[in-house]
Structure 1
Amino acid sequence: MNILSIQSHVAYGHVGNSSAAFPLQRLGHEVWAVNTVQFSNHTGYGAWRGEVFSGAAVTEVVQGVEERGALPSCDGVLSGYMGDAGIGEAVLDAVARLRRANPDALYCCDPVIGDVGRGVFVRPGIPEFMRDRALPAADVIVPNQFELEFLAGASVTSREAAKAAASALLGRGPRVALVTSLITPETPADAIEMLVVARDGAWALRTPLLPVSVNGAGDAIAALFFAHLLETRSPAEALSRAASSVYGLLKATAEAGSREILTVAAQEEFVRPSRRFDAEPA
């Protein structure tokens, strides 16, 4: 498949396109990466160098791809961290261009806003853009628990509450909502949950909670889930494959004591996960 991925890029480490592109390529997919920022490293270090690109710069790159006659063969757009609300409009312009060229193409939005414990960590205007503009345009939405609560305007204190909140998102446009991390009072202390809700059902799984705190895992989950969904058209199977691969990736990272996820060293996990987790009806 061909996937247009519009995300951040770092020279050192693996977040954004630096986390999403290689796993997809390892699975045999073409990734047309358009970078929204060019940073030395992810912002979790507290210091970085580089610049945020303008929406006009993003649009110019996408337009150049369009001029090559490539968009009719593109299967989907994946977007992540935007850095500036103006880039959001460029992403939606890219989605519109793709849908004109290929009406069957899908748009997967990773609505990067913030996280539990950290709160909002993006620039002003971006959370509202995600809620009011990106969400209705998306076919697939992949929020974490914090982002789910913000987008749905509801507190998530149980799996049922998460299902209700994700279903509310589907009522605004998307066909599928994947909650990439879910911890409620019902979740065992040694586990973390993932939940996918589609118009024809809901599925969930639990994986062991690993002693690791790294950036970029959510970017990998979104990319892998989207690719597997495009390939299988099964939300449950896409969840199982993505969760299994990312668990293996994070397990290798934890065992190595690495500050950065081992995207390259643990690449076999993308193709043949060392442990399989099956999604079950939720």
Structure 2
Amino acid sequence: MRFLSIQSHVAYGHVGNSAAVFPLQRIGHEVWPVLTVNFSNHTGYGAWGGPAIAADDVRAVVAGIEDRGVLGTVDGVLSGYLGGEEIVDVVTDAVARVKAANPGATFTCDPVMGNANSGCFVAPTIPPLIRERVVPVADIITPNQFELGFMTETEPDTLETTLDSVDRARDLGPRTVLVTSVLRPDRELLPDGSGGTTGTIEMLAVDDAGAWIVQTPHLPIKANGSGDVTSALFTAHYRETGSAATALERTASSVFDLLQVTIDSGERELRIVQAQDAFANPRMQFAARQVR
């Protein structure tokens, strides 16, 4: 398959396209990255170099691809962090152009707004733009639990309230929702291999066919870019198999092993290259359970 991925880029580390492109390539897909920023590193360091790319320049890249007559071969469009209204317009226009050329193409929006630990870390104007102008044209969205609640003005925590929030999100337009981090107050404790216990974290996938949840140990790491990898892999596996459950199992397996390799390395940035076999040959160590 071929993906048009409109996201940020960093030279050092792995977020945005720097996180999404290689895993997609490693599992056999063509990716056309369109950059919205070209930074030295992700902004979590507090300082960075390099420019945000003007919306007109981003639009010109998409137009140049269109001029090659190949938009009709795009199977999916991906977007992540959106820095402002002008970039929102570029993304939605690109989606419209791709779908005009190939009505079977899908659009996956990762509605980056924040997380449970940091709260909302984007400008106040961004969440309404995502909710009102981007999500309605998306086929797949991949929010974390905090973003799901923020977007639907709900407070998902139990499985039931999270499913209700997903239904509200699907009412906005997208038919498929992947909630990338479900932390329930009654979540199970698992053996940690050293005589203690560790908590669990879950991912929930919902489409017209049903709802599935997968549970993994909650690894002790805050990994910038892991959501970008998750969104990209789930989209590719879902498009390839047509099964939300299979896509969920493959994605959970790959991302868990990516995080474990990163922890073992002692490095702050994702070890995407070192963990590449987890993308190409996921161990499938976690089974999805149908919950609806």
If the length of structure 2 is used for normalisation, what is the TM-score? Answer: 0.94
Cα offset for 1:123?
2.4
The answer to whether the 8 A contact 1:52-1:84 is kept is no
Identity of aligned residues (%): 52
The answer to whether the aligner puts 1:196 opposite 2:205 as a matched pair is yes
Tell me which amino acid in the other structure corresponds to 1:66. E
2:241 is the counterpart of 1:241: no
8 A contact 1:37–1:83 mirrored in 2:
no
Number of the residue aligned with 1:122: 122
State the partner residue of 1:182.
182
CA distance in 1, matches of 2:284, 2:260: 10
What is the match of residue 152 of structure 2? Answer: 152
* Residue 107 of structure 1: aligned partner: 107
Instruction: Output the CA distance in 2 between the equivalents of 1:154 and 1:91.
Output: 27
Q: Which residue of 2 aligns with 1:37?
A: 37
Q: Offset of 1:84 from its aligned partner?
A: 2.1
Q: What letter is aligned with 1:21?
A: V
The residue that corresponds to 1:220 in the other structure is 229
1:55-86 CA-to-partner distances (Å, cap 9, x unmatched) read 22111100100000111111010000122221
CA distance in 2, matches of 1:273, 1:252: 14
Q: Tell me which amino acid in the other structure corresponds to 2:201.
A: I
1:264 paired to 2:284: no
Q: Which residue number in structure 2 is paired with residue 52 of structure 1? A: 52
3-state DSSP class of the match of 1:203?
strand
- Mapped contact 1:148–1:165 kept (Cα < 8 A): yes
Give, in angstroms, the shift of residue 275 of structure 1: 5.0
Partner of residue 13, structure 1: 13
Q: Deviations over 1:30-71 (max 9, x none)?
A: 000001111100011111111211222111100100000111
User: What's the secondary structure of 1:51's corresponding residue?
Assistant: coil
1:207 aligns with 2:216: yes
SS in 1 for 2:51: strand
CA deviation string 1:222-261 (max 9, x = no partner) = 0000011110111111111111100000011111111001
Q: Secondary structure at the match of 1:112?
A: coil
Which of 130-139 and 119-128 deviates more? 119-128
Structure 2 unmatched ranges of 5 or more: 190-198
- The SS at the match of 2:245 is helix
Aligned-partner Cα distance in 2 for 1:14–1:123: 22
Offset at residue 27 of structure 1 (A) = 0.6
Query: 3-state SS of the aligned residue for 1:169?
Result: helix
Q: Is the 8 A contact 2:249 2:284 kept in 1?
A: no
Tell me which stretches of 4 or more aligned residues in structure 1 moved more than 4 Å. none
2:221 is matched by which residue type in structure 1? Answer: V
**What is the root-mean-square deviation of aligned Cα atoms in Å?**
1.0
Is 1:140–1:176's contact at 8 Å kept on the other side of the alignment? yes
Cα distance in 2 for partners of 1:123, 1:195 equals: 27
Deviation at 1:186?
A: 2.1
1:238 partner amino acid: A
1:164 aligned partner: 164
* Alignment-mate amino acid for residue 113 of structure 1: M
Once the two structures are superposed, residues 98-125 of structure 1 have per-residue CA deviations (whole angstroms, 9 ceiling, x without a partner) of 0100000000000011111101111231
- How many residue pairs are counted as aligned between the two chains? 282
Q: Is 1:34–1:58's contact at 8 Å kept on the other side of the alignment? A: yes
Q: How does 1:65-84 map to 2 (within 5 A)?
A: 65-84=65-84
Do the aligned partners of 2:35 and 2:58 also contact (CA within 8 Å) in 1? yes
- Matched residue, 2:192: none
Q: Counterpart of 2:110 in structure 1: which amino acid? A: D
